[in-house]
Amino acid sequence: MADTRLFFLSTALLSVAIFMSYSLSSYAVIYYNYGQFHFLFRELFAGCLGIIIMWGLSYFNPDRYLLTLGLILMFASLVVILILPFLPDSYATSAGGAKRWLRLPNFSLSPLEFFKIGYIIFIAWSLSRKFQGGNTLSFLQQLTIVVPHLFVFLIVTMIISALQNDLGQIILLAIVFIAMLICAGGRFSLFTLTLGVITTVGTILVIISPHRIKRVREWWINIENIIHSYAPNFSLLGEYNMDIGGQVQNATYGFHYGGHFGSGIGQGIVKLGFLGEVHTDMVLAGITEEIGIVGLFCCVLLFFLILFRILKISYRLRSSFYHLFCVGVVCLLGFSFFINSFGEAGIIPIKGMAVPFLSYGGSSLICCCVLVGLVLSLSRRVDLK
């Protein structure tokens, strides 16, 4: 029997996302001249479809189809990413200076979200086969295993960076790969080498991009303003020490004015044009302002209970392939949450990354449900009592 607790926890969090999508999208409805229930109906459809997908995939046979599904998603998504820039605007939706969504009748799909599922499955399968010796393998033996994976990652990085202009997703995939490498039995020296290579590539991608440099500078100005309130003479950027970090500052206003129990559903202020895309990338600030720190805590608790159930399943699976896949799912969902929440709080430079389950967006929501559904299919193999 599949893990019913994981299913109902995921359904509960989806219900919160559907409910909040109506309240937090009120300004976007007016701005884009949409119908009153435009975002609600779309999120409700995606949520119901996601629940059906989770239930259906719980009966999935991973022994026969998991690897095949992963390879199909990985390569099909890459093909779509490669052809998106050449499609007319009527078939591709742009954001952040790149075409990121394939526009189909009545809905759009983000191929990068589906690519991440295939990538995790592929990496879990590959590492589980080649790291069977674990720490008994020498450093050189492990290095020969990892180098082809790094080569594949660099190719993926170039494609995503050039065609999707999305460094945040590259960082996320790098973190997931490193975590799965450690869990597969990689040596610490191999971990540091891999981290160094990926950090170097990430730094180069930041340096060669003016808008990324600007985002890092704005992040540091926010940090400097906080320090300046305690140490007035502190300054490293001189003339740049000014109040220009609008998105992060408005997000922190949402966190602050929400208080313990919030201003009330529909009573939020930052969503009224002060904070762009509050129902998508900035959803945590919007949730906190309307239902308070207590409401946010309940959402976060639900989210981490989902991750806990997945980890519990992973450590009771005998197959290293399935174990590594579950670890990859936890890392993908967990670090997506941390990157978004730390960005909204101003701890790290802000990235346009969806909060799993909570952010508005059909592709992200459905992909989260696919991941949970695949874990549910694996949970049928273990006793979780």
- Any idea of the CA torsion for 102, 89, 28, 48, to the nearest 10 degrees? -20
Which pLDDT does position 235 carry in this prediction?
Answer: 55
DSSP structure string for 244-286: --HHHHHHHHHHHHHTTT-S-TT--STTTTTSTTTTTTTHHHH
Check if the beta carbon of residue 289 is closer than 8 Å to that of residue 255: yes
Instruction: Tokens 């990859």: give the residue.
Output: 328
**Please, what sign has the CA dihedral across residues 163, 167, 355, 377?**
positive
Which pLDDT does position 266 carry in this prediction?
Answer: 79
342 belongs to a structural domain? yes
Cβ-in-10-Å burial (0-12, 13-18, 19+) of 293 comes to middle
Cα(371)–Cα(116) distance, integer angstroms: 10
**Residue span of the structural domain in which 9 resides:** 4-380
385 belongs to a structural domain? no
Count how many domains the chain has: 1
Q: What is the mean pLDDT of the chain?
A: 85
55 belongs to a structural domain? yes
Residue 230's pLDDT band, with cuts at 50, 70 and 90, is low
114 belongs to a structural domain? yes
306 belongs to a structural domain? yes
Cα(87)–Cα(79) distance, integer angstroms: 13
Min mean pLDDT across 9-23, 79-93, 224-238, 301-315 is at: 224-238
Residue 236 has pLDDT above 70, yes or no: no
CA angle (337 as vertex; 118, 355 as ends), nearest 5 = 80
Residue 134 has pLDDT above 70, yes or no: no
57 belongs to a structural domain? yes
Q: What tens digit of pLDDT does each residue of 50-82 get?
A: 999 999 999 999 988 999 999 999 999 999 999
Which pLDDT does position 185 carry in this prediction?
Answer: 83
100 belongs to a structural domain? yes
Min mean pLDDT across 174-183, 208-217, 319-328 is at: 208-217
